[in-house]
């Protein structure tokens, strides 16, 4: 039964939640860098 619960809690697509957390952090850093560059260019 415990193995069944663990199988249901796997993250979709990547298989590990850590990969999703890394992806989210990388995307946020890219957005921050992009908005910083836009602000620097047009101010």
Could you report the per-residue pLDDT of 6-34, keeping only the tens digit for each?
566 788 888 889 999 999 999 999 999 99
Alpha carbons 6 and 38: distance in angstroms, whole number? 44
Alpha carbons 11 and 27: distance in angstroms, whole number? 18
Alpha helices in the chain (DSSP H): 2-8, 17-42
Domain count, the chain: 1
Q: Which residue has the higher pLDDT, 2 or 32?
A: 32
- Residue 18 confidence (pLDDT): 93
* Predicted confidence (pLDDT) at residue 5 exceeds the cutoff of 80: no
Which residues are CB-contacts of 18 (< 8 A; sequence separation ≥ 6)?
none
- Residue 10 confidence (pLDDT): 83
pTM: 0.71
Interior angle at CA 38, CA 32 and CA 42, nearest 5 = 150
Chain center to CA of 29: 10
Domain limits at 22?
Answer: 2-42
């Amino acid at each position: 039964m415990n193995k069944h619960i663990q199988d249901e809690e796997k993250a979709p697509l990547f298989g590990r939640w850590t990969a999703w957390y890394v992806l989210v952090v990388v995307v946020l850093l890219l957005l921050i860098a992009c908005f910083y560059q836009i602000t620097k260019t047009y101010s």
